[in-house]
């Protein structure tokens, strides 16, 4: 299993470096098959030391030890619209979800994370309530594979299972 950004995963599927992948952006390539798997929803979570914390304005986020990960185009646009570019100042910016979670734990910080990821983790992160102009946009997740490999048993079985859910 490898993790990377969606365009990299698509290229690896196309060149055969990986058999299949999960991406946020549905590929436009006619050589790629995709199955919608789920819709990730996001919330602001923090280390347990932030229990009871509530943000009346999202701009208050910048005074906290905010660990930032870009969860895709729609998320980034939502956040910039809420904060304004002058207030977009996280403590640390990362490019990997597990690193974000580790830093939130170790630095006693806060960050936006997929709800399902936090629910499946053992971190003990707590949701932080916040007032926003708009709801955080959900993100579609797709299972992708090269169409020329759709008859391979492993790909076919996994695609079938994911397509049923």
> Which pLDDT does position 165 carry in this prediction?
52
Residue with tokens 């570019």: 85
Q: Which helix (H) or strand (E) holds 141?
A: strand 139-146
Pairing type for strands 129-130 and 139-146 reads: unpaired
Whole-angstrom distance, CA of residue 112 vs CA of residue 68: 7
> Which pLDDT does position 138 carry in this prediction?
94
Give pLDDT tens digits along the chain (165 positions). Answer: 667 778 888 999 999 999 999 988 888 899 999 999 989 999 999 999 999 999 998 889 988 999 999 888 889 899 989 988 777 789 999 988 899 999 999 999 999 999 999 999 999 999 999 999 999 999 999 999 999 998 889 888 888 888 765
Q: Which helix (H) or strand (E) holds 156?
A: helix 153-164
Rg, C-alpha atoms of the chain: 18
Q: What end-to-end distance do the CA atoms of the chain give, in Å?
A: 21
């Amino acid at each position: 299993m490898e993790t990377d950004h969606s365009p990299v995963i698509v290229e690896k599927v196309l060149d055969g470096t990986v058999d299949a992948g999960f991406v946020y952006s549905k590929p436009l390539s006619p050589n790629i098959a995709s199955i919608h798997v789920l819709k990730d929803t996001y919330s602001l979570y923090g280390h347990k030391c932030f229990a009871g914390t509530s943000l009346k304005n999202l701009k208050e986020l910048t005074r906290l030890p905010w660990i930032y990960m870009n969860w895709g185009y729609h998320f980034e646009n939502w956040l910039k619209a809420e904060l304004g570019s002058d207030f977009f100042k996280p403590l640390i910016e990362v490019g990997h979800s597990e690193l974000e979670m580790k830093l939130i734990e170790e630095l006693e910080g806060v960050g936006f994370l997929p709800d399902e990821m936090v629910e499946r983790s053992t971190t003990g992160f707590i949701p932080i309530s916040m007032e926003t102009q708009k709801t955080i946009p959900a993100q579609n997740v797709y299972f992708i594979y090269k169409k020329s490999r759709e008859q391979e048993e492993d790909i076919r079985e996994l695609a079938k299972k994911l397509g049923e859910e």
